[in-house]
Chains A and B, each alone.
Chain A
Amino acid sequence: MRRIVITGLGVVSPIGQGMPTFEQNLFGGVCGIEKLSFDHRGETITFPAAPVKDFNPDQWMDPKKVPLLDRFAQFAVAAARQAITEAGLTLTPALAERTGVILGTGVGGQNTVEESYNRLLVAGATRVHPFTIPRLMINAAASQISMELGVQGPSFTVASACASAIHAMGTALALLRSGLIDVAVTGGAESSLTFGTLKGWEALRVMAPDLCRPFAEGRAGMVLGEGAGILILETLEAAQARGARIYSEFAGFGMSADAKDLTTPDVNGASRAVMNAINDAGWTTDSVNHINAHGTGTRINDATETAALKQVFGDHARQLAISASKSQFGHALGAAGALEMLATVLAVYKDCAPPTLNFKAGDPDCDLDYVPDVSRKMTINRALNNSFAFGGLNASVAVQKLR
């Protein structure tokens, strides 16, 4: 089987744009959560959220094209440009046909949807912006990356809510292993910090009033984020032949479906996804050092994820350094698994587990090592990155040091 490696990273996130800033803020314990305000009929309504700050799409694409892209697709193009540049990869015509864009997006062009409804239903306009449809379609970000980078091979979007990006990256791994493609531009992109979306999440009664505090005692729920994370994947052989910098090996992928409840996670479903990733990578459970958890900060997710890790790892669960990066950049839904994959790859590459912020104290249901508040230098040879989506769709990916 072909071995697949990670040779380029790109990011637009609530804790920084570009990998140097992201890395510094990730390990430095920066929190990107703030209060986001909306004017609603003269009243100011605020939500805790983790927005991307000071994003300038003109920096990443022809300014004339910017109006064709919703914010989530602009993020995707910006992160993809960074990643391909960092990988030092030139897509010759032959290689372009053997390259694919496999991207995770959970919601799509929500900024465009709400802007259109506002025009029609609130402001009373009789028409919407001419690019409404091509901006809002959920595959728009994948298509825009393909056009901007000239990628001509298999390209599509994977949508599985909060697990979209991990399903996308795992699908890219499978396509690369099978020989259907030789290079993948993969990850996730999302931007849905709109008034309507935030109201929708509020109505589910699972949102924290202030901060995201995964695995902590008294945690009160999620905080939404946004952003894009992109990885360049290629075969070990090709990367070595061109002398590329190799971050780590993308060693395995596991999936499962709970087949139970729309919103309540299931221990057995989660543990099967994690175990499938470990088996796919050919690892033993006791060789894993680090987990980037789904860790949303809801009472039920964090307790269920802890129980699933105990089920998979047994006593070794207590040896794991478990980081919940949503405490830093919120829950970016379809991009979450990609931003957390960047954190996982950096953890392996730099031998450092990022912190779980806002921790204070552990919960009786969450009694493992969650790397509270401060990042930790430690040897990390093997790591997993989990996402568990609404709808009971679970995915986990395995990353290891190249040896």
Chain B
Amino acid sequence: MSNSQIDEIMDIVAQKALLDRSRLKPEARLSDLNVSSLDMVEVVFALEDKFGITLPFNANTDGAGLATVGDVIALVEKQLSVQKAQG
């Protein structure tokens, strides 16, 4: 994944969760940033629109799977490669 794509992902997280962009680093924990599950629903929706992908995210079960900003980046990266492979 290119640095510009990672930047785009972090821009979206910052914008949707109303965060100072400089606080976002891959290792930053979403809970420490006060990103709520409703914020994540908006973030996921915006990422899907931006990259033309579907992210398998259920706020009930997957909240724990996305602990850090890096986890979000990894999920987008994974889905981009899955959907690329499927053509």
Chain A positions near chain B (C-beta within 8 angstroms): 203-209, 218-221, 261-264, 298-300
Q: List 3 tightest A-B contacts by C-beta distance, closest first.
A: A205-B59, A299-B60, A221-B60
B61, A264: Cβ atoms closer than 8 Å: no
Among the 9-residue stretches B17-25, B26-34, B37-45, B73-81, the one with 4 or more Cβ atoms under 8 Å from chain A is B37-45
Q: How far is the CA of A206 from the CA of B41 in the complex (A)?
A: 10
For this complex, 8 residue pairs linking A to B, each with C-beta atoms less than 8 Å apart, are: A203-B41, A203-B45, A205-B58, A206-B60, A221-B58, A261-B36, A299-B59, A300-B37
CB distance from B43 to the nearest CB of A (A): 11
CB distance from B65 to the nearest CB of A (A): 13
Q: How far is the CA of A208 from the CA of B59 in the complex (A)?
A: 10
B61, A204: Cβ atoms closer than 8 Å: no
Measured as residues with beta carbon below 8 angstroms from the partner, the interface class of chain B is 10 to 19
Contacts of B40 in A (CB 8 A): 205
* CB closest chain-A residue, reference B57: A205
Q: How far is the CA of A224 from the CA of B7 in the complex (A)?
A: 38
- Other A-B pairs, 19, CB within 8 Å; known A205-B41, A264-B38, A299-B61: A203-B45, A204-B41, A205-B40, A205-B44, A205-B59, A205-B60, A206-B60, A207-B58, A220-B58, A220-B60, A220-B61, A221-B58, A261-B36, A261-B38, A264-B36, A298-B59, A299-B59, A299-B60, A300-B37
Q: How far is the CA of A208 from the CA of B60 in the complex (A)?
A: 9
CB distance from B42 to the nearest CB of A (A): 10
* CB closest chain-A residue, reference B62: A205
Contacts of A218 in B (CB 8 A): 61
A262, B38: Cβ atoms closer than 8 Å: yes
A263, B60: Cβ atoms closer than 8 Å: no
B38, A263: Cβ atoms closer than 8 Å: yes
CB distance from B13 to the nearest CB of A (A): 16
Q: How far is the CA of A208 from the CA of B41 in the complex (A)?
A: 15
Q: How far is the CA of A262 from the CA of B41 in the complex (A)?
A: 13
* CB closest chain-A residue, reference B44: A205
A206, B58: Cβ atoms closer than 8 Å: yes
Contacts of A263 in B (CB 8 A): 38
Q: How far is the CA of A220 from the CA of B59 in the complex (A)?
A: 8
A206, B59: Cβ atoms closer than 8 Å: yes
CB distance from B87 to the nearest CB of A (A): 17
Q: How far is the CA of A220 from the CA of B41 in the complex (A)?
A: 15
Contacts of A203 in B (CB 8 A): 41, 45
Contacts of A207 in B (CB 8 A): 58
CB distance from A353 to the nearest CB of B (A): 26
CB distance from B50 to the nearest CB of A (A): 16
Contacts of A220 in B (CB 8 A): 58, 60-61
* CB closest chain-B residue, reference A297: B60
Q: How far is the CA of A298 from the CA of B59 in the complex (A)?
A: 9
Contacts A203-B45, A205-B44; A219 near B38 (Cβ below 8 A): no
B60, A298: Cβ atoms closer than 8 Å: yes
Contacts of A221 in B (CB 8 A): 58-61
